[in-house]
A and B are shown apart, each in its own frame.
Chain A
Amino acid sequence: MKILVPVKRVIDYNVKPRVKADGSGVDLANVKMSMNPFDEIAVEEAIRIKEAGKAEEIIAVSIGPAKAQETLRTALAMGADRAILVETDDEVEPLAVAKILKAVAEEEQPGLIMLGKQAIDDDSNQTGQMLAALMGRPQGTFANTVEVEGDSVTVKREVDGGLQTVKLTLPAIVTTDLRLNEPRYASLPNIMKAKKKPLDTKSPAHFGVDTAPRLTTTNVSEPPVRQAGEKVEDVDALVAKIKALGIA
């Protein structure tokens, strides 16, 4: 079985984003970029499945600018076998990403497509679901645990108030949640090996996908500054305060 793992290059999770003065978006000039943390979890899970002998090959794919090669090399250093960059400098919305991934999947025929549940830049949380719908394949989103067994995969999903277990017939789409695993850091020998692993570059046109945006961003603004809270002495004071505020 092959596992396809889409990885996105996003603003590093340690960086405090700055909104552009004209409100058109976030300023990405001179900002550190990294692999979307949920995608790292997806790469890690794919490697664990392969290490357990349940997959033969892991293919990392990224849709984005030439610099996304770095993100793919990170996936290769963690343990993916080869990579595909679908290169474009345009902003690609979740629907177009899903269409490109569908086309890649048609070429590669993976048994499992493992995505992050969302990217931390736009927090859309759509690509996995759209991909499953476009492909007409089952989906297990917000995975907390993933167990591949024969021709199916069992996914425990993080839902409000607990875990829901679903069993999907392969090929299937899984999106990862935060607690699925702790991604490994690359070892030095693997960083060196990753430089020699194959990385193909293609274009959205190669897959016949029109990436023109369907949405218009009207404004991006900083979240309102949180007001400082108030400290109370004890539980009685807390209860009194809540009553006074009319919350309870």
Chain B
Amino acid sequence: MGDGILNETFPEIREAVRRLCARFPGEYWRKLDRERAYPSEFVAALTEAGFLSVLIPEEYGGSGLGLEAACAVLEEIHRSGSNGGACHAQMYTMGTLLKHGSEEQKRHYLPKIASGELRLQAFGVTEPGAGTDTTRISTFARREGDDYVVNGQKIWISRAEHSDLMVLLCRTTPREECAKPSDGMSVLLVDMREAVGNGLTIRPVRTMLNHATTELFFDDLRVPASALIGEEGKGFRYILSGMNAERILIASECIGDGRFFIDRAAAYAKDRSVFGRAIGENQGVQFPIARAYVQLSAAAEMVTKAARMFDAGETAGTEANMAKMLASEASWAAADMCIQTHGGFGFAEEYDIERKFRETRLYQVAPISTNLILSHVATHVLDLPKSF
């Protein structure tokens, strides 16, 4: 059996996730996709079964497992044809709080995040005027007595309408007044339940995939100073460490997508008969499937390596980036191959392939685009001159 099910890591976890996902078949996702609706039942089932609190330490009510286990969960979700995009942030956004929050903040929030009573699904970094150049963000939190007063705008903030809390990156010192451009930014844990309608407006952005992404407008939003995580001005560094976890987890979703496409293509190639024989008997059909498998297997090794390094306490920044790039390209190649293998049927909604095709395309752009990864490798690993 070539699909690795026999010597897979975390077999019990994967099996349980597969069982859970079997209750959310293609038609469930197709309906949501048509309506651009949020998979509330799916997210509730994952929450209840404890799969979103994998990374939260046991003392705060989670399972205290590592990133590699979390990757297994997301990979299986995606391999099954489901999509973890609606809730993967509940797994890792809390990392900023866990690593840099005060003991009081952790005791207050983490157990409720672990149980799902509090949804921490929103992570607000990107701005229309800054793009990938995060140091150029202009959303500003001005200290006024016991409060911060926030003004500005964010874009592409996913799940904001389905989250109780948001980890928000904003400036607390203007860029020009800082020694380094990456100084002067801070992280606030915003309570969305109080903020919406009181200075925070959320506007959904329709996209080519069902991702519940939004624009946020801050207009004198008051956030208590107690919502500050860690020290003022150090927010960028706090966010960066969380981004490595995010990239590795997203990479595992790509691996799951890739396996979905390869599973489907291989099955279809054996089944579909044209010119009196299975299309899979033609090497012209077989080889692209095999190639996708080879490419995906290599990417999966990189994802596992990055996850294991992260779990061993290493920064794994470069590996996280490389894993995300390889995995997102491998899943996209597999998606393209899968459509081609299916011919016209690849375009029919009923087969779920066109949906997954749209979904997996995202990951070469978000949470970080390929060029920025290449730039990281060029300048940080290969010591080539900086271009920006």
Contacts and interface: CB of A to CB of B under 8 A. Distances in A.
A31 B1 contact: yes
Contacts of A189: 50, 63
Contacts of A24: none
B60 interface: no
B20 interface: yes
Nearest to A191: B12
B20 A192 contact: no
B6 A186 contact: no
B6 A188 contact: no
Interface in B1-32: 1, 5-6, 11-13, 15-17, 19-20
Interface in A176-229: 185-189, 191-192, 194
Interface string A10-28: 0000000000000000000
A216 B196 CA distance: 74
A30 B1 contact: yes
Contacts of B16: 77, 185-188, 191
A32 interface: yes
A192 B19 contact: no
Given A73-B12, A77-B16, A188 B5 contact: no
B48 interface: yes
A74 interface: yes
A34 B18 CA distance: 13
B51 interface: yes
Contacts of B19: 185-186
B55 to A, nearest CB: 11
A32 B13 CA distance: 15
B12 A74 contact: yes
Interface in B32-71: 48-51, 53-54, 63
A222 to B, nearest CB: 17
B239 to A, nearest CB: 27
Contacts of A34: 15
A166 B6 CA distance: 43
Contacts of A31: 1
Contacts of A30: 1, 6
Given A30-B1, A73-B12, A74-B12, A187 B6 contact: no
B50 A187 contact: yes
Nearest to A73: B12
Nearest to A183: B19
Given A32-B1, A32-B5, A187 B49 contact: yes
A61 B236 CA distance: 54
Nearest to B10: A191
Interface residues of B, number: 18
A13 to B, nearest CB: 12
Interface in A92-150: none
Interface string A63-77: 000000010011001
A14 B169 CA distance: 47
Interface string B126-154: 00000000000000000000000000000
A133 B139 CA distance: 77
B270 to A, nearest CB: 11
Nearest to A78: B16
A185 B50 contact: no
Nearest to A188: B50
A192 B6 contact: no
A187 B63 CA distance: 11
A192 B53 CA distance: 13
A185 B15 CA distance: 8
A189 B69 CA distance: 13
B44 to A, nearest CB: 13
Contacts of B54: 188
B1 A187 contact: no
Nearest to A195: B12
A74 B15 CA distance: 10
A30 B63 CA distance: 31
A186 B48 contact: no
Contacts of B53: 188
A43 B53 CA distance: 26
Interface string B296-313: 000000000000000000
A34 B5 CA distance: 12
Interface in A1-55: 30-32, 34
Contacts of A194: 12
B54 to A, nearest CB: 6
A221 B15 CA distance: 30
B189 to A, nearest CB: 25
A192 B63 contact: yes
Contacts of B50: 187-189
A206 to B, nearest CB: 28
Contacts of A188: 13, 16, 49-51, 53-54, 63
28 contacts: A30-B1, A30-B6, A32-B5, A32-B6, A34-B15, A70-B11, A70-B12, A73-B12, A74-B12, A77-B12, A185-B16, A185-B19, A185-B20, A186-B16, A186-B19, A186-B49, A187-B16, A187-B49, A188-B13, A188-B16, A188-B50, A188-B51, A188-B54, A189-B50, A189-B63, A191-B12, A191-B13, A192-B63
Given A32-B1, A191-B16, 4 more contacts: A70-B11, A77-B16, A185-B17, A185-B20
The 6 closest A-B pairs by CB, nearest first: A185-B19, A188-B50, A187-B49, A186-B16, A185-B16, A187-B50
Interface of B: 1, 5-6, 11-13, 15-17, 19-20, 48-51, 53-54, 63
Interface of A: 30-32, 34, 70, 73-74, 77, 185-189, 191-192, 194
